Amino acid sequence: MGSKGVSRRQFLKYAGATAALLGLSEAMIPEIARALEGMTAGKPPVIWIQGQNCTACSVSFLNTNYPMVGELVLDKLSVRYQPNVMAASGDVATKVIEDTAKEMKGKYVLVVEGPIPTKENGRYCTFGLKDTMVPFFNGYQRREDKPISAWMDELVPDAAAVIANGNCASFGGIPAANDDVTGTTRVLDYVAKNDKSKVINIGGCPSHPDWFIGTVLDYLFYQKVPELDQYNRPKAFFGQLIHENCERRASFDAGLFLEDWNDNNPDLKLCMFKMGCKGPVTYADCPTRRWNSKVNWCVGANAPCHGCAEPAFYKNLSPLYEPLPDVHFAGISPLPDTLGWVAAGATAVGIGGHYLYKQLGKKAEDGEE
């Protein structure tokens, strides 16, 4: 028997699922099982706070299969604060954060869903209450709202790792389109003044449960932040271009494009490029990982990839249903690194998919249109 009534067989199955999630060899299963068993003695505390979020990344987390969410939340992690699932409300809830930060200094994992607004002293997103009093109705005074920026100031320095869960925590996403008003700030920028290297960005709008949970398990297994790309994303999940692994790549190469949704005979597997697919500039493993228990994925539903895992999403990938900007089909080469996009109206200048990707990413970095 493993700990807490979990059978050895269940435990090895769990370790196997972990290995698969992390892309590790089956030969590693016994080692993973030992590591996971060791962890149960002191489960890593997790504080999961929400900024300008929409909760899709929390809902997506609930869609995990291996490990099941119940196992994960009760057996593997100590989920101290997660506003959508925790029993406590009000002061009882926020006291848990305060106690954890004090008692588990340097040991807790901080998960941030949604970006951090900074204008007006952070008042565009608050939860919990400070001790200072402000006037209220009927002659009452009430305790002042506490901005998420204040929570970040308190919690980031002593966090073992900070996981920005989802596109908008990682890259600004949809709220960043109004950053001039609320001062929307990516977690990485907010943390930069402390320690940039402990921030892990999980893209996706929403994040795939495997991306998030795989990253958490990887961190628990190796006790360090996984290998990250230039955007602080784990390479394990965001290392490959969707276009390169797409099940409809053959249609792209053959020039068979979907142009009318009434022609979408599933056997044809027509390419979605002309309907605005951003797969050629999006790095994520959606084509092989798929979504919701592997039932489907965006292109599988005859819809274009909207590029939601990319730093450029949403602002710099709009319009979503128009073909990628300034490119047409003359001179297309099927070679992955020399996707011969030709700038429209210009002389034949080939722009590699990776180059275009970098440009779009850079625009998002610069926060420009």
Site membership for other proteins, residue 332 (CB under 8 A): no
153: tokens are 């100031």
Q: What angle do CA 31, 208, 59 make, to 5 degrees?
A: 110
Residue 181 makes CB contacts below 8 A (sequence gap 6+) with: 119
Measured between alpha carbons, how far is residue 171 from residues 61, 123, 162, 224, 318 in Å? 19, 21, 14, 22, 16
In the complex with other proteins, the residue whose CB is nearer, 25 or 267, is: 267
Site membership for other proteins, residue 308 (CB under 8 A): yes
Site membership for other proteins, residue 86 (CB under 8 A): yes
- The residue annotated as part of the active site, out of 125, 208, 286, 306, is 286
Given the structure tokens 């030709």, which residue do they identify?
342
Site membership for other proteins, residue 256 (CB under 8 A): no
Closest distance of CB 289 from other proteins, Å: 11
Question: Which range in 215-223, 227-235, 263-271, 360-368 contacts other proteins by CB under 8 A?
Answer: 263-271
Of 12, 96, 228, 343, the residue at the interface with other proteins (CB under 8 A) is: 96
* Burial class (CB within 10 angstroms; exposed 0-12, middle 13-18, buried 19+) of 237: buried
Contact (Cβ atoms closer than 8 angstroms) between residue 123 and residue 148: no
CA quadruple 211, 217, 220, 223: dihedral, nearest 10: -50
Site membership for other proteins, residue 345 (CB under 8 A): no
Question: Which range in 20-28, 123-131, 232-240, 242-250 contacts other proteins by CB under 8 A?
Answer: 123-131
Of 306, 311, 332, 340, the residue at the interface with other proteins (CB under 8 A) is: 306
Closest distance of CB 335 from other proteins, Å: 28
Residues 20-79 that bind other proteins (CB under 8 A): 43, 45, 50-60, 62-63, 65, 68-70, 73-75, 78-79
* Burial class (CB within 10 angstroms; exposed 0-12, middle 13-18, buried 19+) of 52: buried
b/e sequence 163-201, b meaning 16+ C-beta within 10 Å: bbbbbbbbbbbbbbeebeebbbbbbbebbeeeeeebbbb
Site membership for other proteins, residue 288 (CB under 8 A): no
Closest distance of CB 211 from other proteins, Å: 13
Cα–chain-centroid distance for residue 47? 16
Of 31, 134, 192, 196, the residue at the interface with other proteins (CB under 8 A) is: 134
Site membership for other proteins, residue 268 (CB under 8 A): no
- The residue annotated as part of the active site, out of 125, 205, 208, 306, is 205
Site membership for other proteins, residue 322 (CB under 8 A): yes
Site membership for other proteins, residue 138 (CB under 8 A): yes
Site membership for other proteins, residue 2 (CB under 8 A): no
Q: What does the H/E/C string look like for 168-223?
A: HHHHCCCHHHHHHHHCEECHHHHHHCCCHHHEEEECCCCCCHHHHHHHHHHHHHHC
In the complex with other proteins, the residue whose CB is nearer, 124 or 283, is: 124
125 among known catalytic residues:
no
Give the count of residues interacting with other proteins (CB under 8 A).
101
DSSP assignment letter at 226: P
Residues taking part in catalysis: 54, 57, 168, 205, 243, 246, 271, 277, 286, 298, 305, 308
